[in-house]
Amino acid sequence: MTTPNEPPAPNRSSGVAPVKKEFLLPIPHTAPTPAPAPAPAPITEPADDAEPNNDRKRPADDASEPRAKAMRNKKDKKKFTGQNKDRPRGHVVEAVQICSLIAIGEECTRPNCRFEHDPQVFLAARDPDLDGPCPSYEANGKCPLGIRCRFHKKHTAEDGYTQLTDAARMATAKPVLNLLTRDRQQDLRKKQFKFTRTKEYLKFLGEEGKARAAAAEAARVAKEAAAAAATAAAAEAVAAAAGSDAEMADAKPAPPPVEKPAPVPVAAKPEPTDSVVATLKLTRREKTRIDFRGKTYLAPLTTVGNLPFRRLCKGYGVDITCGEMAHTHSLTAGAFSEWALLKRHPCEDLFGVQLAGGKPGMVLDACEIINADCTVDFVDFNMGCPIDSVYGNGCGSALLDRTGRLRDILRGMDQVMDCPVTAKIRTGVEKHKNVAHKLIPQFREWGVALTTLHGRSRQQRYKALADWDYINECASAELKGDMPVFGNGDVLSHEEYYSKLATYNNVDGIMIGRGALMKPWIFQEIKERRVWDISSAERLDMLRQFTSYGLEHWGSDTQGVNNTRRFLLELLSFTHRYIPVGLLEVLPQKMNERPPRFVGRNDLETLMASDNCNDWIKISEMLLGPAPAEFKFLPKHKANSYEDPVRAEAFAAYAPTSSLAPSVAQLATGTA
């Protein structure tokens, strides 16, 4: 009960985050023009999702108008859900492309080289250098791009051509791991890699399949024999009853006894499917055991879970990192773009890669290559991806309903890999048909070392709250045994993290995905058990660190700069949803609460809260210089950005301009 002097508690059931009134942004709107009273019309039930429209008079004889309006509203809603599948990629190519050998100060000996060989021509046509040191040179003591680097003056001699190196840094530099070599790529493309372990396991599967087929045939014969015996016995009983009735009626002597046919032997009940092939047991490989319990785990995130972002999260204290989902068919084909997803930075001390595939042979081939060439602590198998293209190919969450194929894949991965195998799943494919509680006990038998359960079905995507009660049920000791089970879904603060661990105490840990995208520093909050009211300047420093990691990873030439810009914008499409702690009436911010339009405590904080793509590009220009005229960006998820001119105009009109607050320019240059 509140006193007259106390404000009422904010209503958190509305789905909107409770921002303090002084920071809320009023949205101007045009008052509707009064319409003349309409003629009497037949009463029609409005559609459930139709909204009143006071600006337009409905014709009295148009009985189908509510239905038509409902259809329009559904289409409008759909425009802002799902993915932007045909979005521009923002690929930018330099007008003059220089020979890679000339760029690093070497002589080109290729007679048919079609690239520019005059450094001065290239430098005259290229965009100007960026401010700051070269990330690659600072980290490794040399830059592999030479004068193509947008920081080339920092590591080029006075002649403007010769490249400098730093021997001390080169001696201490730690290289990125899990690179695909040209020789290995040729082996894969020419089918020269010997998949010894995979072939042994597939041979075992063939023998097991024959044994299962024989057992199934024996069971069928036994069932038919039992049915025939039952039918014969029933017919005999009917015949005996009919004979007795006739004897009593006619008082005739009984017919001579008829010999009964010998009973058909009924085969013993077949053993369960998994024990039919008891003589074909696999020999489990000795593996390094990893204690996952209680560790913070950054989810493998497609597109946004790249190596620079993982490095950023490692800086905030996350324990376990995992690469982006890689398709096994592309890995076995030697695609450099797919192998790039397996790269591991030396700072990732507990690192795994995630694979997606639907065919045992293809998945195991990829596992055997990784086992031979890569340095990983575990391999995670994706059974939760809801994307249509993945699901339609029998991968991801499609495997949740294909237990037999899932068994063949997971047992094979455990047989082929020297490191532990983990699994990531959803509750099921459909909303009210959970299957995880049936799969988890089998995972334990198939050699899975850790299962992570996302508390939503494929059908739900992110439309509903994660079902943590069901996660806790699946993590019970009766189902999981000694295999740890992590939960995943809707954690955005250290309060929620520890609250869920205490409430759902069967769970051994929590994987964090979107929460880390919105506020990467969540892992530091969890470690320190405190709320961090991070300033806009600190957030800009975080983005500056991400761009430095990005330039080191994707390259510091023009193409690398714009790749870094694109992935920075992907990150900003999530971080703009964060509401600063000092602006909230009630802590913590909830994942399912929509941020209202608000202004920050300074210009930069306001800019970082914008959901307009153009404002994100402005932030990128503070860190990476002006974007090329041809550069375009559209976020992966439609709901991450809005193109509403009225809202944008209001946002600009109410941006704070106090002289006491540091300006965006000051914060960008570090002079605030």
| Catalytic residue set | 385
DSSP, collapsed to helix, strand or coil, labels residue 638 as: helix
C-beta atoms surrounding 566 within 10 Å: 21
Strand intervals (E) in 68-118 = none
DSSP, collapsed to helix, strand or coil, labels residue 165 as: coil
Pairing of strands 448-454, 378-383: unpaired
- In terms of Cβ atoms closer than 10 Å to its own Cβ (0-12, 13-18, 19+), residue 463 is exposed
- Cα 652 to Cα 473: distance, rounded to the nearest angstrom: 49
- Cα 301 to Cα 298: distance, rounded to the nearest angstrom: 9
* Tokens matching residue 645: 């001119």
- Cα 581 to Cα 535: distance, rounded to the nearest angstrom: 10
C-alpha dist (Å) from residue 51 to 66, 295, 418: 9, 48, 59
Q: Which residue from 586, 525, 449 is spatially nearest to 8, judged by alpha carbons?
A: 586
Q: Which residue from 69, 79, 78 is spatially nearest to 49, judged by alpha carbons?
A: 69
Rounded to 5 degrees, what angle do the CA atoms 491, 493, 494 make? 110
- Cα 63 to Cα 41: distance, rounded to the nearest angstrom: 9
C-alpha dist (Å) from residue 367 to 378, 483, 530: 11, 22, 40
Sheet of 509-512: strand order equals 297-298, 509-512, 485-488, 448-454, 421-426, 378-383, 351-356, 321-327
To which H or E segment does residue 408 belong?
helix 403-416
